[in-house]
Amino acid sequence: MMPPEDPAQDHWPEDPATQRPAQDRFLDENAGPMVRPYVMTSGRIEPTRGKFDLITLVVAVGPEPEGAIGLGPEHLAIIRLCQSVLSVAEITGHLDLPVATVRVMLGDLLDKGFVSMQEPEPEADMHDIRLYKAVIDGLRAL
């Protein structure tokens, strides 16, 4: 029979990679406990509106709102970043978050009217013979 465990004592398994208690790998000295991206998006993996390719351009419609209900700190960071036009890839890099998480948050901001977006132009119709003739004419002119 095993002795009863002391409930006041933490019983974290050891992380085999660092030989430290597993609790330590979820903490960052500067940021505190780690927040998983799915928590930031309430488990959503797709934006409610907009496609948001990596080259989609995003700009804030106005200044950062004061006390906007339903917006987390990451949403507000996006609004601050997008005071000048940025691509989704640039926003993702600045926030150091997964692109899927950023896309969901951008969809939230688009729904609430805090950002506007410009999707990339669709690729040219590659079956249009005029396009090929224009390319050949351009090459011959060189």
DSSP string of 67-89, one letter each residue: S-TT--HHHHHHHHHTTS-EEHH
| CATH (one of 1.20.140, 1.10.150, 1.10.10, 3.10.20) for 36-118 | 1.10.10
Q: What is the residue-averaged pLDDT of the chain?
A: 75
> What is the structure's pLDDT at 14?
54
> Using alpha carbons only, what angle is made at residue 68 by residues 65 and 69, rounded to the nearest 5 degrees?
175
Instruction: Break the chain into its structural domains and give their ranges.
Output: 36-118
> What percent of the chain shows pLDDT beyond 70?
63
| Residue-wise pLDDT tens digits, 9-65 | 455 555 455 555 545 444 545 555 555 666 677 667 677 777 788 889 999 998 888
Mean pLDDT (whole number) for 80-97: 93
Cα–Cα distance for residue pair 72/68, rounded to 1 Å? 9
pTM: 0.58
pLDDT over threshold 80, residue 82: yes
